[in-house]
Chain A
Amino acid sequence: MSSFFEARRLAYSYPGGPLAVRDVSLSVPQASMSAIIGANGSGKSTLIRMLAGLLHPDSGEILLDGVRLKDWDPRARAREIAYMPQVTSTAFPFRVIDVVLSGRTPHVSRFELEGSRDYERAMEALESTGAVHLAERRITSLSGGEKQMVVLARALAQEPRLLLLDEPSAALDLKHRAGLMRTLARLREQRGLSVIMVTHDLQLTGSLFDEILALSAGNVAAHGRPDEVLRSEILGAIYDEPNVRAQRMGNQTLVWIDA
C-alpha cells in the first residue's frame, strides 16, 4: 500500500544533550495503525513531536504527500495531521465544547468565526469519544481520563488524515481504554484515518495495530508486524527487563512479567 506520510532518517538532539532520536524512518499508508513503544526516555515523545511539526529534526526529512512538512502552510497541515499531547494543561475554565471547537480552526478562514456546521462537527467528535455528556462542563473540572477523551475529540474535530497520539491511554480506565480503541478502529474503517500512537500499553498494540516501531535509546530496536516485534527477547532488550514474556494467542499477544 502506498504511503502518504513518510519520515526519513530522522535525528534530533535537545540543546546541549545527546541525540534523543537517531536514524529513525517510518512510512504510513492510509487507514493504518502504527504504535511506537520503548522504555521511558527512549525518544518516543521526541519522535512523535517531530512528526507533529513541533520539533524540527536536526537531520532527515518528513514528507506529507511528497512535500516536506515544514513547507506546508501550517493551517493546511493542521487539516491533514492532528496531534494529541501527553498532557494538556488548560489554565482557564473553558467549556468542553469550546475546547473541541478549537479543533475546527484550520477549517475556518482567518477572519471568520466557527459556524453551526463546525458546532455539529465538534459535537460529532465528542459523541465519537463518548464524551458528549461533558459538552457544557468546564475543562478544569474534569478527571484526567475525561480530559483525555475531550482532547481526543478536539483532535478528531480537525478531521485529519493522520492522528498522532502521545500516550493517550495513560490516564484511562479499562472502559475508556476499550472505547478509545473502538473509536480509532471505527474511524479507520469509516474515514480511512491513519494513527500513530506512542504507548506503554503493549496489550493494546498486539491486536489492533498493523506495525510497531520499538525504540531503544533513540535508535530503532525493532520495526515490523506485532507478531514480529512483541517477542520476549526483543521486549526484554528494549525495556532492559529479562523477565518480560510475550506469547502470541490467535491474533492477540499476551505480555506479562514473569516474577
Chain B
Amino acid sequence: MKAGREVTAGPLRLKLIRTLTILIVLLVAAVALGLIVGRQHIDFSNLLSDPIARTLFFRLRLPRVLVGLLTGASLALTGAALQALFRNPLADPYILGVSGGGVLGASVAIALGWTMRVIGVPLLYIASFGGAMLAVLLVKRIARAGAIVVPGALLLSGVVVNLVCAAAVLAIQYVVDPNSALRILRWIIGSLDAVGLEPVGRMFLVLAPAWIALLFFSRQLHLLAIDEETAATLGVNVRRCETAVHLLCSVIVGVAVATGGAIGFVGLIVPHAVRLIFGEDLRIVLPGSLLMGAVFLVLADALARTLLPTSELPVGAVTGLLGGPMFLWLLRRRQHYSVM
C-alpha cells in the first residue's frame, strides 16, 4: 500500500502544468526556428528598416509558420479527440476519411469558383467543413453495428470513404480548368503557403473557439476512452458528447484542410507521442496534442523548406515520410492496445 501511494504521488494538476510548460517552451523554440530558417535569408537586425526583409518576414515567413502552427495543432487535437471518441488508437482525421471529405468539399468549392463569404466566413471553409462532416457521419454509420462502433470496420470504412473521396477529387480535377486543377492538387499534397496575416487571422478566429470548446470535453472523452458504459454511468451524456465532438472536429479539420490541405499522419502520430511521454489521461493528451501538433508541423515545415538545396518539399510529403514508418511501428506495438 505504502509503495503504491509513493508511485502515484503527484496530483494531475501538477502533471498538467508540467506538461504544458514543457510543450509551450518547445513551441516557442520551434516557432523561433521556423522563423529563422528558409531558403531566403532574412536580416533580422534590419527587419523594420529593410522593406524587403519586412515583406519576406511579415508577408511570407511569419504567416507560413503560423499556418503550420494552427494546422498542426488542429489536426493533432482532433486526432486525439477522435481516437478517444471511437476508442480506437488508430483513428485520426486522415485515416477516418474526415480529411478526404474536407478535400472533396474544398475541391467542389474551387471547381465551382466559390470565392464569396457567408457572414465573413469563406465559402471554401464551409464546403470543406461540410465534406468533413459528411465523411464522419458516413464512416460512423457504416462502422456501427447496433449500438457499437466496430473498431476494424471503422478503419476499413474510413479507408473506403477516403478512396471514394480521392476518386471524386480526381474526376473533378479532370473536368476543371488547369488552374483550378493545380489548386486542388496543392490541397491534396498539403501546403502551408500563405500570403499576409489576414488568412491566418481568419483561420484563428474560427479555430480558437472550436479548440476551446473541444478541450471542454476533455473529461468526458477521458471517461469515454476508458469505457462507454462506464462513462454513461459516471454522468456523461454519451450521445450529446459524440455529436458535439463530431461537429467540432469537422469544423476544425474543415478549416485546417481548406487552408493547409490534407496533411497526413499528424493526427495519428502526435497524440501517440504525447501519450507515450506524458501518460494516457485525456485531460493531458488533448491540450498536449494541441501544442505538440503545432511543434511537429512547424518543425516538419522548416525541414520541408530546407531539406533540398534548390527547391522546397511539400510539407505533406515530409509528414507522410516521417509518419508512415511511425505508423507501422505503432502497428507492431499493437500488443499494448486491446483493440486495433
Contacts and interface: CB of A to CB of B under 8 A. Distances in A.
Contacts, number: 115
Interface string A236-255: 00000000000000000000
A92 B337 contact: yes
A176 interface: no
Interface stretch (A2-10, A34-42, A76-84, A221-229): A76-84
Interface string A136-173: 10101000000000010010001000000000000000
Q: How large is the interface on A (under 10, 10 to 19, 20 to 34, 35 or more residues)?
A: 35 or more
A88 B227 contact: yes
Nearest to A140: B338
B1 A89 contact: no
A113 B1 contact: no
Given A92-B89, A93-B280, A95-B279, A82 B233 contact: yes
Interface string B220-245: 00110111011011111100000000
B233 A52 contact: yes
A190 interface: no
Q: Which of B8, B236, B237, B339 has the most CB of A within 10 A?
A: B8
A53 B275 contact: no
B12 interface: yes
Interface residues of B, number: 36
A136 B337 contact: no
Contacts of A90: 87, 225-227, 338
A134 to B, nearest CB: 9
A116 B13 CA distance: 10
Nearest to A154: B230
A113 B283 contact: yes
A210 interface: no
B339 A91 contact: yes
Contact of A89 (B5, B232, B338): B338
A98 B8 CA distance: 10
A135 B230 contact: no
Nearest to B237: A74
Q: Which of B11, B12, B227 has the most CB of A within 10 A?
A: B227
Contacts of A119: 5, 8, 11
Interface of A: 52-54, 73-75, 77-78, 81-83, 85, 88-95, 97-99, 102-103, 105-106, 110, 113-116, 119-120, 123, 126-127, 132-133, 135-136, 138, 140, 151, 154, 158
16 contacts: A54-B229, A73-B235, A78-B233, A78-B235, A83-B230, A88-B226, A94-B280, A106-B234, A115-B11, A119-B11, A135-B7, A135-B8, A136-B8, A138-B336, A140-B338, A151-B230
Interface of B: 1, 4-5, 7-8, 11-13, 16, 87-89, 151, 219, 222-223, 225-227, 229-230, 232-237, 275, 279-281, 283, 336-339
